[in-house]
Chains A and B, each alone.
Chain A
Amino acid sequence: MVDELVRTGLARFEYQHILNHGPPSVLAALAVECGGDQGRWWDFHDHYMTTQDFSRDGAVALAASFSLDTDEFAQCLDSQKHLDLVEGQHRRAAEAGINSTPTVRINGEGGAVSDALIDQVLDLASELEAEEG
């Protein structure tokens, strides 16, 4: 349903970083954003949704597995290029009273959205990203 809503232009899906677990959360969020610099944001997102490896070397190896420029990726990760971005998302979420994860809001309002629907949108996002990449 969400897939159809997004495809038909009726809905937009967004992901906001929450950094509730300290450095590993920050590293994962930064790795996703650095992957986004090379057009693989949703691939990194999907990977970190299922992996338990939140090390720097693991992130660089993941970049290599996606055939990204690992030097550029490592530099992005080490310089914390997107730290302001991810911390800003976390701060705004906390200001909105969002403390637990995952939380889903529809037009800013809380609602019951199943994991299946979220997965559906995430798959669509990866697909569209791949088409545009």
Chain B
Amino acid sequence: MNTGKRPVAAYVDRQASTPPGGRLESVHRAMMAYRVYRWFALIGDKFGISGQTLVIAIPFIWLLLFFLAPFLIVLKISFAEPLTAIPPYSQLWQWDGETLAIHLNLYNYIFLGEDDLYWRAYLSSIRIAGISALLTLLVGYPLAYAMARAPASWRPTLVMLVILPFWTSFLIRVYAWIGILKPEGLLNLLLSWLGLIDQPLTILNTNTAVYIGIVYSYLPFMVLPLYANLEKMDLSLLEAAADLGCRPIKAFWLVTVPLSVPGIIGGLLLVFIPAVGEFVIPDLLGGSETLMIGKTLWSEFFNNRDWPLSSAVTVILLGILLVPIVYFQRQQAKAAERA
């Protein structure tokens, strides 16, 4: 006789045994304390969306609202024409009640390709950011290494000292370098007092000053991932290397450095990516020969008020930076897989 009922003991009702939050039940329950989340949970429940999905969705919604949406607006503007109006660009589509007219203006991109100023600015930015990232690695690695091998009780203080400059405005710190690097600045005073030079060195308003500025400003971004990596390294590996006849310096190159590659890559990218678009440092410390895309973008946007062209510059810049970011992500995924 088939009553249409489910057999009772044949299987366990999954719906009943799985809490609404799934594996993220505890997060889900904590979030339920917030009214907005409760609304979402209530609506989600109507559409069969579990708490687990909702918890995972939050960062995605965040990215959607504050990254993807602004980016799409920039992308839209990059296909517009500059106008002397408010806003200073043409509309992408027009609807007159019958026809939808879409004007895709590709001129901005064509112009970027034709005018070699932009390509030179992109290449120069990548070069300056790349060299700066390598210089930061050279300075940051010994620093991170010393921190990671310092007595455990000192380490939190040392990390604090690395982070400390962030408490002062970035702009003020870069400004301070003008005082140090200018012809009658502290550095030249010191060098001439030591008798090393008799003519003041011209550092300010050159690429060298830009390198100094970037290395100084972005050092913590290099040191912190390297420190995190070096600190968790198993020191018995170095003992094993020594035990097998390897001198300490060689062990550093054969064991420590290869194992810190994820930290090195992380640090390089964290310095390289923001440095490519850097505007303040080349503007304050760089000279007329310092060509960086951030500066070009600034003058395009604020001096020429050409929003569409500057948007196109931004879109291309993002495209260029996506390559190392994706590479970094894949490295991270690989490292996570290994662990």
Pairing of A with B? no
Interface residues of A (CB under 8 A from B): none
Interface residues of B (CB under 8 A from A): none
